[in-house]
Amino acid sequence: MDFAASGIWTNVKTPACDKLKDKIYELRLSFGKMEIRILYFFWGSSVILTNGFLKKTRNIPESEIEKAINYRNDFIKRNGGGEK
């Protein structure tokens, strides 16, 4: 499915989604008392999920954002480089 073209992801705004940095976004999910975060980026019209974690502090740990950036960079390198 072409998520970006269908508007599913592009129309989701805060508080459900937010841009973090370096083209990494977060999706916020709550299940009872659990706060779940999924980090992702866009590749053309695709959404690429990088990592997820249970949020235990007020701020998103910088290590999780850096992990997502590293996964994104690796993905781009393995898929021909450049941006789509």
Q: Is the pLDDT of residue 14 over 70?
A: no
At residue 37, what are phi and psi to the nearest 5 degrees? -125, 135
- Under a CB-based contact definition with an 8 Å cutoff, are residues 66 and 74 in contact? no
- The mean of the pLDDT values for the chain is 84
Nearest to 31 by CA among 48, 6, 47, 55: 55
Q: Which residue has the higher pLDDT, 1 or 21?
A: 21
- Extents of the domains making up the chain: 3-78
Q: Which pTM was predicted? A: 0.79
